[in-house]
């Protein structure tokens, strides 16, 4: 049977969607944009999900195109009332697909739970140099408190300073409504709630300035609740940390 116009349109549509998928995959592998230890873990996880999803998608599209182009008119085994349809499909193929999908899900679960452990168990990754910064969200700025007493806010545009290559823990709360303390480039987001402290950590591996954003709609000026993270060389950070700390 030659494909009808409708079938031909379906095939072209499927091929275009498939090509768009590949374009986005290539873009994705090109530059993920993140930095730091969490970005590596998160981006690997995302790439794995993407790759397995793409493999399944490719299989489905190929099968779809195969069916559309090769299916025959099937009139002889149309089920009649009171009659069972003839057996179709293959038990072996169905079993193989089930095994493959089960393996995919097992791999994804394993890697996902490992990643969750990495994100949540900061005590396993912190070192002697590590310290905790208390971050408190307010409408519409962040307050930072260091262990040695340094305290300031993002309201004046001052960056949150941390040293490079040192795991730093953030203990996040809120002074008013719900906020969410997010470092998008470092792939971390911690809920800032007035009722409890949530913790998270990062290991910055490159110096520079990175955005801090509020990821919880918290009021009229939520959009301008922005700040900067400055990842400094260790020596530079220590000079700042000690000199600022003395005056307090």
Q: Which of 212, 218, 229, 232 binds Cu ion (CB under 5 A)?
A: 218
From candidates 160, 168, 214, 229, binder to Cu ion by CB under 5 A: 214
Q: Which stretch binds Cu ion (CB under 5 A): 73-81, 97-105, 158-166, 225-233?
A: 225-233
Options 36-44, 90-98, 99-107, 177-185: segment touching Cu ion (CB under 5 A) = 177-185
Total residues contacting Cu ion by CB under 5 A comes to 4
Which among 114, 101, 127 has a CA at the least distance from the CA of 44?
A: 114
182 interacts with Cu ion by CB under 5 A: no
- Binding window for Cu ion (CB under 5 A); candidates: 21-29, 66-74, 155-163, 209-217: 209-217
Task: Point out which residues pair with 162 in neighbouring strands.
Answer: 231
The token pair that represents 247 in the structure block? 């005056």
- Beta carbons of 128 and 198 less than 8 angstroms apart: no
**Angle at CA 139, nearest 5°, toward 219 and 186?**
95
Judged by phi (left if over 0) then psi (alpha if -120 to 50, else beta), residue 157 lies in: left
Compare residues 214 and 229 and give the one whose CB is closer to Cu ion: 214
Task: State the nearest-atom distance from the C-beta of 216 to Cu ion, in Å.
Answer: 6
Among 122, 161, 179, 186, binds Cu ion (CB under 5 A): 179
Taking CB under 5 A as the criterion, the residue among 41, 166, 212, 225 binding Cu ion is 225
Q: By CB under 5 A, which span of 2-10, 95-103, 173-181, 238-246 interacts with Cu ion?
A: 173-181
Shortest distance, position 97 Cβ to Cu ion, whole Å: 46
Task: Tell me the closest approach of the beta carbon of residue 142 to Cu ion, in angstroms.
Answer: 9
Residue 162 in the binding site for Cu ion (CB under 5 A): no
Cβ-based neighbours of 201, under 8 Å, separated by 6 or more: 122, 125, 126, 130, 167, 168, 169, 170, 188
For the chain, the 3-state helix, strand and coil shares in percent, each to the nearest 5, are: 45, 25, 30
How far apart, in Å, are the Cα atoms of 231 and each of 164, 189, 237? Answer: 6, 17, 9
| Cβ atoms of 206 and 164 closer than 8 Å | yes
Cα–Cα dist 238/233, whole Å: 9
Pick between residue 135 and residue 214 the one whose CB is nearest to Cu ion: 214
Binding positions for Cu ion, rule: CB under 5 A: 179, 214, 218, 225
């Amino acid at each position: 049977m030659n494909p009808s116009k409708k079938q031909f349109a379906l095939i072209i549509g499927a091929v275009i969607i498939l090509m768009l998928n590949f374009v986005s995959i290539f873009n994705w592998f090109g530059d993920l944009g993140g930095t730091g230890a969490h970005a590596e873990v998160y981006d690997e996880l995302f790439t794995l999900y993407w790759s397995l999803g793409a493999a399944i998608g490719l299989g489905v599209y190929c099968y779809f195109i195969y069916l559309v182009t090769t299916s025959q008119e099937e009139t002889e085994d149309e089920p009649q009332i009171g009659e069972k349809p003839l057996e179709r499909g293959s038990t072996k193929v169905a079993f193989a697909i089930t095994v493959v999908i089960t393996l995919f899900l097992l791999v994804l679960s394993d890697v996902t739970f490992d990643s969750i452990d990495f994100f949540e168990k900061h005590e396993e990754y912190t070192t002697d140099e590590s310290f905790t910064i208390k971050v408190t969200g307010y409408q519409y700025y962040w307050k930072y408190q260091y262990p040695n007493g340094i305290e300031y806010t993002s309201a004046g545009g001052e960056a949150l300073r941390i040293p490079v290559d040192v795991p730093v823990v953030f203990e996040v709360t809120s002074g008013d409504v719900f906020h969410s303390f997010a470092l998008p480039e470092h792939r971390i987001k911690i809920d800032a709630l007035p009722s409890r402290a949530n913790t998270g950590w990062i290991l910055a591996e490159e110096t520079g300035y990175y955005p801090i954003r509020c990821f919880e709609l918290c009021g009229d000026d939520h959009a301008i609740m922005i700040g900067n993270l400055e990842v400094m060389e260790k020596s530079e950070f220590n000079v700042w940390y000690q000199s600022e700390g003395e005056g307090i």
